[in-house]
């Protein structure tokens, strides 16, 4: 038996899946770093509410209770998210097109929007929305 040296050359990088996930060795150079910006949480929740509403309307999912079971969340949480579908269409659009968050806090929280969604008429919602976004000018809500 002879001792032989084997040399392998190449480029590899280490990645993790999810926060705190197991490291994985990948072939090739590391991908370029994405820009440090993220879609605001309320924008993602608005999109989710629209999608879930469609699932209930088309009968794919029977009701909000079934959504809660499927999503492993409480029915109250589903109601909070689905309340976003009660907002006037232009407010929904403003939420979907909020600018990306580059650093710091989110421009709006779901809790900020619950009182707006609780207003029964769209005119009143728009007034409440303007008041809400006027209180947060430095957070760029509703631009």
Taking residue 106's Cβ as centre, other Cβ atoms within 10 Å add up to 16
Predicted local confidence at residue 139, as pLDDT: 47
User: What pLDDT shows up at residue 6?
Assistant: 80
**Tens of pLDDT along 43-96?**
999 999 999 999 999 999 999 999 999 999 999 999 999 999 999 999 999 999
37 vs 102: CA distance, rounded Å? 4
Rounded to 5 degrees, what angle do the CA atoms 19, 75, 55 make? 85
Nearest to 117 by CA among 139, 92, 142: 92
Tell me the pTM.
0.72
- Residue 141's pLDDT is 44
Least confident range of 10-14, 18-22, 45-49, 88-92: 18-22
**pLDDT attached to residue 130:** 96
């Amino acid at each position: 038996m002879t001792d032989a040296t084997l040399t392998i050359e190449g480029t590899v990088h280490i990645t993790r899946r999810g926060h705190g996930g197991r490291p994985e060795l990948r072939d090739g150079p590391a991908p370029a770093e994405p820009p440090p910006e993220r879609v605001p949480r309320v924008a993602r929740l608005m999109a989710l509410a629209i999608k879930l509403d469609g699932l209930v309307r088309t009968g794919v999912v029977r009701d909000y209770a079934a959504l809660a079971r499927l999503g492993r969340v409480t029915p109250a949480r589903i109601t909070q998210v689905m309340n976003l579908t009660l907002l006037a269409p232009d407010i929904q659009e403003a939420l979907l097109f909020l600018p990306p968050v580059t650093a710091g806090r989110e421009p709006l929280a779901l809790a900020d929007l619950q009182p707006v969604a609780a207003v029964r008429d769209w005119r009143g919602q728009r007034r409440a929305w303007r008041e809400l976004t006027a209180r947060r000018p430095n957070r760029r809500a509703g631009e």
